[in-house]
Amino acid sequence: MRKSIITTILFFLVFVTYAQNFTSIKSENKPLILKSFGSFYEGGENVEQSSDELGSFGPGGHISINQMYVHYMIPAENKVPFVLIHGMALTGKCWETTPDGRMGWDEYFVRQGHGVYVIDQVGRGRSGFNQANINKVRTGAAQNSTLPILMRFSDEVVWRNFRIGSDINKPFPNEQFPIEAMDALSIQGVPDLTMSLPFPNPTYKALSDLAEHVDGAILLSHSQSGSFPLEAALVNPKGIKGIVMVEPGMVSTSFRQDQLDELAKIPILIVFGDNLEIETGIPNFSWKVSYDNCLKFKNQINAIGGNAKVIHLPEIGILGNSHMIMQDKNNLEIADIILNWQENNK
Amino acid sequence: MRKSIITTILFFLVFVTYAQNFTSIKSENKPLILKSFGSFYEGGENVEQSSDELGSFGPGGHISINQMYVHYMIPAENKVPFVLIHGMALTGKCWETTPDGRMGWDEYFVRQGHGVYVIDQVGRGRSGFNQANINKVRTGAAQNSTLPILMRFSDEVVWRNFRIGSDINKPFPNEQFPIEAMDALSIQGVPDLTMSLPFPNPTYKALSDLAEHVDGAILLSHSQSGSFPLEAALVNPKGIKGIVMVEPGMVSTSFRQDQLDELAKIPILIVFGDNLEIETGIPNFSWKVSYDNCLKFKNQINAIGGNAKVIHLPEIGILGNSHMIMQDKNNLEIADIILNWQENNK
């Protein structure tokens, strides 16, 4: 009986249409004061494409591809800025207002005096993508195998892979993700062209260029973009004042010695949430393995005099965090941990 | 001789790499003060897709498609807000910092006391798109003809079609677009899936829902989205307090009488720039025809007691505006014309 009441409540929490629109957003009481604000692009290349490749809208010619969109906010205090780098099948949106309408890390970091640069990875969101092969295959001018791979997570996969519950509609008892807003999380999903981008991913260089152009920044990545700050530092470390990797999906444990030497010059923080041992539902992918690799990487860095730290939140008494830490109910508490680390590791 | 010097100067202006990055942005002196700030989505539907359709990343399941991204800023003064709706092959970016680094209309409207909602049309930018058929064709599970059409303008087409010059690298003598920033305009381009969206375009309803959810707004469209505010009003006019169409590409002159009666209840402003008579380079498309249709539409509305106005900028002494009025050098002067019209047509 009691179980059936709980199931019914959960059903309503999860399946009653939850439209995240303006009416569900909780505004802050204090105004947000920005010294400057705007957007621009980093990187990109100008290429020539045929009319066919351009979707037959007018004659062929040049277009820009592989650019990276950057939206920024800078407060008067102007502490070292953060570049927020989203994960797989998401965009810069994931750092903004949370799915249940609370303040995102973008706004919180600014309110704490840090400039914030929110990017869309090359190939996604306002960065756009190279459409040429899709148009060519449609008209028969290219083979089907040249089409890009466009990845998305299903809502069902998200429950376990984002560690919101032990299974679909079965949240962990102390879950920190606001499960009433699962629909609003689903709606943030966009197709992910990472697998079909040029190699190396143009986002790496765009990030290192960005850090240099803004005279120094901390690169903060999440999930699929986990190792991007490391890759950016290996392109050009000049502007990279620190690296924060939140729940990185894949971090290499086989960097060359000269690469480790370079990375050891930069303060590095890695943060993981709870329930790492769960089966993700993604073949050959385990958060526990990602975490263990990060411990190995940290040890490699610290063994040569570097400054890398891994925080596993449950070990410091913070339980129930999902993979989407920046959207969890205690998101600002975790942001403070990152900001305190930054303060102590300049 | 003189001609060759001018040609050389133009060559440098246009072709020397112009990276629009943070260093080229001119910040305002006065801080931007926001009462609230954030983002959310309107609309969308939850559909079931196979593993194949999802790019084979995990098993099949449900995802959200056809949602509309909305980024908002609200100042303390809180005058009637504007919803800024971008045109073809662009995103909400086009309203932000101009290609040459000046303040965009998003910030200017906020500084004048109006809330601003910048959207990405369904199928573009942070709104994402439905990737199912692209993945299915790649694996041979669907016919090539089911692939979406992805349209982009070439930089060469932009010169004439956006009325920046009489031909490539030949700006009009009094051109208002900052031609030194043509590269930074090019880099704003993204693939446009409009032709392959469900009918009617889900953006229409999302816009009318947005206007209602924010308790009233003025819908301001540009170019390809020209008629979107009209279509949104015909879905549900409740929240739509005014309509501004900047350089609308296509406005119907064959609305039904009951539709005209509905639209005649809303104040409507249409704004066009200079050099409308130029050959666009796009087959069967002419800005002069678009303009003439708008005059006919205005007359239809006003004949039944409505309040529609067309401003052809050269007729009030403002010369040289391109199609990208919100990015032109006199963009704030034109914004003031729109804001004055709003003040006088509440």
Query: Is residue B87 within 8 angstroms of chain A, CB to CB?
Result: no
How many whole angstroms separate alpha carbon B70 and alpha carbon B97? 17
Nearest CA-CA partner of B39 in A8, A90, A261, A130? A90
Is residue B175 a contact partner of residue B320, using CB atoms and an 8 Å limit? Answer: yes
Nearest CA-CA partner of A322 in A187, A192, A170, A178? A178
In the prediction, which pLDDT does B281 show?
83
How many whole angstroms separate alpha carbon A331 and alpha carbon A319? 12
| Residues of A (11-40) whose Cβ lies below 8 Å from B | 19-25, 27-28, 31-40
Contact state of B126 with A128 under an 8 Å Cβ cutoff: no
pLDDT in tens, chain A (346 residues): 444 454 444 444 433 344 456 777 887 889 999 999 999 999 999 999 999 999 998 899 999 999 999 999 999 998 999 999 999 999 999 999 999 999 999 999 999 999 999 999 999 999 999 999 999 999 999 999 999 999 999 999 999 999 999 999 999 999 999 999 999 999 999 999 999 999 999 999 999 999 999 999 999 999 999 999 999 999 999 999 999 999 999 899 999 999 999 999 999 999 999 999 998 888 889 999 999 999 999 999 999 999 999 999 999 999 999 999 999 999 999 999 999 999 999 8
Over 50: is that where the pLDDT of B7 sits? no
> Where does residue B164 fall: left (phi above 0), alpha (psi -120 to 50 degrees), or beta otherwise?
alpha
How many whole angstroms separate alpha carbon B249 and alpha carbon B263? 18
Q: What is the pLDDT of residues B320-332, one digit of tens each?
A: 999 999 999 999 9
Closest residue to A281, CB basis, from B35, B49, B58: B58
In the prediction, which pLDDT does B24 show?
77
Measure the CA angle with vertex A311, ends A307 and A314; round to 5°: 165
In the prediction, which pLDDT does B21 show?
66
In the prediction, which pLDDT does B257 show?
98
Closest residue to B40, CB basis, from A20, A67, A150: A20
In the prediction, which pLDDT does A333 show?
98
Nearest CA-CA partner of A83 in A94, A70, A66, A93? A70
Contact state of A40 with B63 under an 8 Å Cβ cutoff: no
Is residue B85 a contact partner of residue B220, using CB atoms and an 8 Å limit? Answer: yes
> Taking the CB of residue A337, how many other CB atoms lie within 10 A of it?
15
In the prediction, which pLDDT does B45 show?
96
Backbone angles phi, psi at B158, to 5 degrees: -60, -40
How many whole angstroms separate alpha carbon B282 and alpha carbon A179? 49
Prediction pTM value: 0.94
Contact state of B34 with A34 under an 8 Å Cβ cutoff: yes
Is residue A25 a contact partner of residue B70, using CB atoms and an 8 Å limit? Answer: no
In the prediction, which pLDDT does B13 show?
40
Q: What is the pLDDT of residues B268-282, one digit of tens each?
A: 999 999 999 998 888
Closest residue to A153, CB basis, from B58, B104, B107: B58
In the prediction, which pLDDT does A28 show?
80
In the prediction, which pLDDT does B77 show?
94
Q: Which domains, and CATH codes, for chain B?
A: 33-344 (3.40.50.1820)
Q: What is the mean pLDDT of chain B?
A: 93
| Residues of B (282-301) whose Cβ lies below 8 Å from A | 282-283
How many whole angstroms separate alpha carbon B213 and alpha carbon A22? 6
Alpha carbon dihedral B132, B135, B139, B143, in 10-degree steps, equals 60
Contact state of A104 with B38 under an 8 Å Cβ cutoff: yes
Query: Is residue A213 within 8 angstroms of chain B, CB to CB?
Result: yes
Give A-chain residues touching B148 at CB under 8 angstroms: 134, 138
What ipTM was predicted for this assembly? 0.94
How many whole angstroms separate alpha carbon B75 and alpha carbon B80? 11
Over 50: is that where the pLDDT of B288 sits? yes
Q: What is the 3-state secondary structure (H, E, C) of chain A?
A: CHHHHHHHHHHHHHHCCCCCCHHHCCCCCCCEEECEEEEEEEEEEEEEECCCCCCCCCCCEEEEEEEEEEEEEECCCCEEEEEEECCCCCCHHHHCCCCCCCCCHHHHHHHCCEEEEEEECCCCHHHCCCCHHHHHHHCCCCCHHHCCCCECCCHHHHHHHCCCEEECCEECCCCCCCHHHHHHHHCCCCCECHHHCCCCCHHHHHHHHHHHHCCCEEEEEEHHHCCHHHHHHHHCCCCEEEEEEECCCCCCCCCCHHHHHHHCCCCEEEEECCCCCCCCCCCCCCHHHHHHHHHHHHHHHHHCCCCEEEEEHHHHCCCCCCCCHHHCCCHHHHHHHHHHHHHHCC
Query: Is residue B52 within 8 angstroms of chain A, CB to CB?
Result: no
Tokens of B340: 């004055």
Min CA distance, A114 vs chain B (Å)? 15
Contact state of B187 with A92 under an 8 Å Cβ cutoff: no
Q: What is the 3-state secondary structure (H, E, C) of chain B?
A: CHHHHHHHHHHHHHHCCCCCCHHHCCCCCCCEEECEEEEEEEEEEEEEECCCCCCCCCCCEEEEEEEEEEEEEECCCCEEEEEEECCCCCCHHHHCCCCCCCCCHHHHHHHCCEEEEEEECCCCHHHCCCCHHHHHHHCCCCCHHHCCCCECCCHHHHHHHCCCEEECCEECCCCCCCHHHHHHHHCCCCCECHHHCCCCCHHHHHHHHHHHHCCCEEEEEEHHHCCHHHHHHHHCCCCEEEEEEECCCCCCCCCCHHHHHHHCCCCEEEEECCCCCCCCCCCCCCHHHHHHHHHHHHHHHHHCCCCEEEEEHHHHCCCCCCCCHHHCCCHHHHHHHHHHHHHHCC
Q: What is the pLDDT of residues B48-94, one digit of tens each?
A: 999 999 999 889 999 999 999 999 999 999 899 999 999 999 999 99
In the prediction, which pLDDT does A17 show?
40
Give B-chain residues touching A214 at CB under 8 angstroms: 22
Residue with tokens 């045929």: A50
How many whole angstroms separate alpha carbon A331 and alpha carbon A324? 9
* Preferred mutation among B28, B39, B88, B103 to probe A, highest tally of A CBs within 10 A: B39
Query: Is residue B42 within 8 angstroms of chain A, CB to CB?
Result: yes
| Residues of A (105-164) whose Cβ lies below 8 Å from B | 107, 120, 125-129, 131, 134-135, 137-140, 144-145, 147-157, 161
How many whole angstroms separate alpha carbon A41 and alpha carbon A92? 14
Contact state of B39 with A283 under an 8 Å Cβ cutoff: no
Residue in B with minimal Cα distance to A102: B38
> Taking the CB of residue A73, how many other CB atoms lie within 10 A of it?
24
Min CA distance, B191 vs chain A (Å)? 6
Tokens of A236: 């050009």
> Where does residue B247 fall: left (phi above 0), alpha (psi -120 to 50 degrees), or beta otherwise?
left
Residue type, A188: Q
In the prediction, which pLDDT does A251 show?
93
Relative orientation angle of helices A228-235 and A202-213, to the nearest 10 degrees: 70
Q: What is the pLDDT of residues B11-49, one digit of tens each?
A: 444 333 444 567 778 878 899 999 999 999 999 999 999
In the prediction, which pLDDT does A21 show?
66
> What b/e string do you get for A292-323 counting C-beta neighbours within 10 Å, with b at 16 or more?
ebbbebbebbeeeebebebbbbeeeebebbbb
Query: Is residue B345 within 8 angstroms of chain A, CB to CB?
Result: no
Q: What is the pLDDT of residues B178-197, one digit of tens each?
A: 999 999 999 999 999 999 99
How many whole angstroms separate alpha carbon B327 and alpha carbon A74? 22
